[in-house]
Amino acid sequence: MRNPFAGLHPALELINREGKVLPATGQAMEDLVRPDHQEVIDTLRMGEDRLLDVVLEAPNRRPYVTLRPLHRNEHHMLRYFLDGSARTYFLGDVVEGRRRTSVHVAQIGAAVVFRLDDGRVKVAGFERQIVLMMDKKAVSFGERVAQLVQEAGGPYRFCDIMEEDGESEMTSPGKEPRSRAAHKAHHMMAKLEDALGRNLAREPGHWLVLDGSLGKDLHAWRNVPHFFGVTKSFSREPTFTLPGGGARQVVNLYELLAGLPHSARTCAFSVRSGQMAVWYVRLREQRHLDYPLMGVVKVEFPNPTREAVPSELIDEISAVLVAERHVTPHGKDPRWHAHLYAIHLAEQAVKNAFISSEALRAGLRWPAFPARAQQ
């Protein structure tokens, strides 16, 4: 069987030849994003929207709306589900004189699954890349490394960890490449998701659900109909002015969601000057969970007209989301309480296509690396 990382070997051999390689103990070590990347990105994309005080729906003016779950056999509205995943591994450091950069490899992917009338799910679109990552400007041979990876073609990509992209330098500020690798990989994954979702061919009326916050560049999606984003881990910074008679009631996110009943939604608030409507839906009862934010998803709905979104449509979207809650990958994912079943399947489609950590360690054994027992 051909080594799936063979396309990176010329670049890795160049790094080994031109610099002094200090390998990671146990060879490749997985880099993890802390805190939760989705929450960090959602906070970043909220921008200046810290006080949500404009209700962007009509005619509803109640802070909470009770829902009756709307199942697929009644109304099969949601057909396509998009999610991505990224795994990043630290291979080691390369030193050239007084200069140094960490070297990483990432597997990133995105998948769209389509649900048939009978409930079966099949993969409708898939993208995967293998990315070599380092600070290209930190060593004199960085440009040649990038060129070798580019010449390999296929799924192989090169990423300059320190190149600014508008998000990674804000989610992981500083000048240390290693701390930014996993964030950079997630940013590249988001770009894969974006391209896959925008270019997906769909039948009229078939809705697409995106996992995570909608990107800042909604203009690129202006010709894409029937889609919205669902976030399991979201910013905890906003405060909200609740509608209703009498004095204005301003609450923080914890207070808003503590009062949100099971199988219910909040009213929809204006974000980005009305270009997006945002509301929260409780999928699971609080009595089974640890704190009010668990069991809740945030819905982001694009609104190019900036006019009030019909409450009937918001109710419909929220009711079908409540009916999607039944997956419970308890113990396998800390966000199990907010998973949607088909989104979970899309995520698994990506992860199942990734090369295992054991195969990665075996396939990226640089000539300079002595054989080491895995730790």
Which tens digit of pLDDT belongs to each residue from 156-169? 999 999 998 877 77
Kindly report the pTM of this predicted structure. 0.87
Which tens digit of pLDDT belongs to each residue from 35-64? 456 676 776 666 667 889 999 999 999 999
Q: Which of 25-29, 198-202, 268-272 has the lowest mean pLDDT?
A: 25-29
Asked whether residue 374 is domain-assigned, the answer is no
Q: Which pLDDT score is estimated for 306?
A: 94
Shortest CA distance to 86 belongs to which of 16, 167, 32, 29?
A: 32
- Residues 305-313 have a mean pLDDT of 96
Which tens digit of pLDDT belongs to each residue from 119-150? 899 999 999 999 999 999 999 999 999 999 99
Asked whether residue 242 is domain-assigned, the answer is yes
Report the chain's terminal Cα–Cα distance, integer Å.
26
Q: What is the CA radius of gyration of the chain?
A: 23
Q: Which pLDDT score is estimated for 159?
A: 96
Asked whether residue 370 is domain-assigned, the answer is no
Buried b (16+ CB within 10 A) or exposed e, 48-70: ebeebeebbbeebeebbbebeeb
Tokens of 295: 């069991």
- pLDDT range class, residue 288, cuts 50, 70, 90: low
Asked whether residue 110 is domain-assigned, the answer is yes
Asked whether residue 263 is domain-assigned, the answer is yes
Q: Which pLDDT score is estimated for 198?
A: 93
Asked whether residue 52 is domain-assigned, the answer is yes
Which tens digit of pLDDT belongs to each residue from 58-114? 999 999 999 999 998 898 999 999 999 999 999 989 999 989 999 999 999 999 999
Which tens digit of pLDDT belongs to each residue from 323-369? 987 665 555 666 666 668 889 889 999 999 998 888 887 787 765 44
If one counts the domains in the chain, the total is: 1
Contact 213, 189 (CB under 8 A): no
Task: Tell me the residue range of the domain where 205 lies.
Answer: 6-363
> How far is the C-alpha of 229 from the C-alpha of 227, rounded, in Å?
7
Asked whether residue 118 is domain-assigned, the answer is yes
Q: Which pLDDT score is estimated for 174?
A: 67
Which tens digit of pLDDT belongs to each residue from 197-254? 999 999 999 999 999 888 767 778 888 999 999 998 888 889 999 997 666 789 999 9
Asked whether residue 1 is domain-assigned, the answer is no
pLDDT higher than 50, residue 5: yes
